[in-house]
A and B are shown apart, each in its own frame.
Chain A
Amino acid sequence: MVKFGLFNIKTKFNLLLFGGSFMKLCIIGFGAVGMGVSKVVSMKREMLIEKYGLDISIVAVTDRSGAAINPNGLDIELLLEIKDKTGKIANYPEFGVSDISGVQVLDDVDYDCLVEVTPTNIEDGEPARTHMLKAMKDGKNVVTSNKGPLSLNFHELLEAADSTNAHFRYEASVGGAMPIINFSHETLAGNKITSVQGILNGTCNYILSRMANEGSPYLQTLNEAQELGIAETDPTQDVEGIDAACKIVILANSVLNRDVSLKDVKMEGITRITPESIALAKKEGLLIKLIGEASYDNLEVSPRLVREGSPFAVDGTLNVATLKTDLADDVTVAGKGAGSIETASAILSDIVSIWKARS
């Protein structure tokens, strides 16, 4: 009780200090990542208030069915329950709306920060691109994990955000919880980064690790991964290297400051990898991994040989990346590359960074 009382005093003090304002989130897309963001906002509510004076209020959530909108904040438990039970956010009692587009929600709702987490579309980046550009033009901050528009329209988005001084952050788009984008810009500030190499797709790494450990053929291993929910029913984007290539484009644009798009990446996936080739590699103390590489003269995703015991010899769905820098030499980061809560962790850190910059 005493602790609770103290917490309340501190909270009130913080709210007073920072004008007592909420940060109003609009979450467009309510799949695994959108739901994960809601969960972490709810889980960390007290901590965020206490530590940063940040009281996050989710004012709008959309999915394919429509939206739930409440200017005074939606009930997160109820949001998750409705989505879980009915699959449609439009069924949210009292504040649910059917047949409303994301853009319309952005027009109607008063919010501070857009969390764009609709499914990745690598054909034209839509509808995420439109959502983000609209929010930025309206001077709103944007946080996203969406690789589609980032790998197709990176500089367009950056310019749109700059034109209204909106914050634009996208840590979650590469490597889930593995810190790399903000890490390069902030922790490695002052360094010139000359290349990034890494394992950027957890599904491929899981399949290749299993093949190496069990000697099983590719298709069988893929099927097992699908049964476990690690690979998607249509695994094309993962196993053909497209997903990793998107991340390479984002890293090249953001970390190496290049101006490139998905078509500039040489791409080879893991579908042709055989147990025979893995066995031959193993005899030399080598492993086959799908490696993405971004440098000033190369953009490539391809299976490569890595030494057992090296930083790249990670098993399972882990992601790992090595940045070559002029001052710090090689710096290697690793972390969970996917997962609803892990990805939401990266999104939350972006939200907190925006809040800190604002206050």
Chain B
Amino acid sequence: MRLNLVLELLDVPGQLLDALDPIGKLGANIVAVIHQRDVKTERGTIPVHISIEGDEETLKRVLKSIEEMNIQIIEVDGVVMKEKITTILIGNIVDQDLRETVNVLNSIEGVRVADLNLKMSDNPEESASRIVIEADYGRKKDLMENIKEYGNSKGFLVINEI
């Protein structure tokens, strides 16, 4: 059987090769690769279209290994899978226990905090954190409202994407 994937790769040398490497090793055939470096996603990454062939078990193993490499699969056979949401919180991260915020987000089904960055300020009130969330497609708008509501209730200034 054949599987059409859209992967999201960083625009750095070697990314494409790394992504393709396990496909062959696991026994699947690469039918086509469309890699246009000048077409970028909103996030500045490159969507790479890959068609692979193999038996069902092999293809499953390939998908698993791609996920393990932390490469985002944005589409499988034309179905959009995930979207990424970045949000920034300003406020006293230490006092307000940011871990709780992350836990609250992770507890929502289909939502995962993928990245968390902190920048502390001399004045704790002015510290900032950037949270990158991966969510099932179509959840973005609701999720941004949820984050805003939750963040505001803890006294954070929440800065969402436009």
Residues of A participating in the B interface, judged by any CB pair closer than 8 Å: 197, 268, 272-274, 276-277, 279-281, 283-286, 288-289, 291, 302-307, 310, 312
Contact of B90 among A272, A291, A306, A310 (CB under 8 A): A272
Residues from chain A with a CB closer than 8 A to the CB of B90 are 272-274, 276-277
A281 near B162 with CB under 8 A, answer no
Asked if B53 is at the interface (CB within 8 A of a chain A CB), the reply is no
Chain B neighbourhood of A286, CB < 8 A? 86, 161
Asked if B160 contacts A304 (CB within 8 A), the reply is: yes
> Which residue of B has the minimal Cβ distance to A274?
B126
- Interfacial residues, chain B to chain A (CB-CB below 8 A): 42-44, 86-88, 90, 117, 119-121, 126-130, 132, 157, 159-162
Say how far B110's CB is from chain A's closest CB, in angstroms. 22
Whether the Cβ atoms of B162 and A197 lie closer than 8 Å is yes
The residue in chain B whose Cβ has the minimal distance to the Cβ of A286 is: B86
Name the distance in Å between A159's Cβ and chain B's nearest Cβ.
Answer: 35
Cβ-neighbour of B130 out of A284, A289, A291 (below 8 A): A284
In the complex, which residues of chain B have a beta carbon less than 8 angstroms from the beta carbon of A281? 88, 130, 159
Closest to A308 in B: B44
Q: Which of A197, A272, A283, A307 contacts B157 (CB 8 A)?
A: A272
Contact A305 B120 (CB under 8 A): no
Given A274-B121, A277-B90, A286-B86: A304 touches B128 (CB 8 Å cut-off):
no
Contact B44 A280 (CB under 8 A): no
The answer to whether A307 and B126 touch across the interface, beta carbons within 8 angstroms, is no
The answer to whether A288 and B43 have CB atoms under 8 Å apart is no
Q: Is B86 a contact of A305 with CB atoms below 8 Å?
A: yes
- Known A-B contacts A304-B160, A304-B161, A304-B162; the reply to A285 vs B43 at CB < 8 A is yes
**Which of B43, B44, B87, B121 is within 8 Å of A276, CB to CB?**
B121
- Having A276-B126, A284-B43, one finds 20 other A-B pairs with CB under 8 Å, namely A268-B157, A274-B126, A276-B121, A276-B128, A277-B88, A277-B90, A279-B119, A279-B128, A280-B117, A281-B130, A283-B117, A283-B130, A285-B44, A288-B88, A303-B157, A304-B162, A305-B87, A305-B160, A307-B42, A307-B43
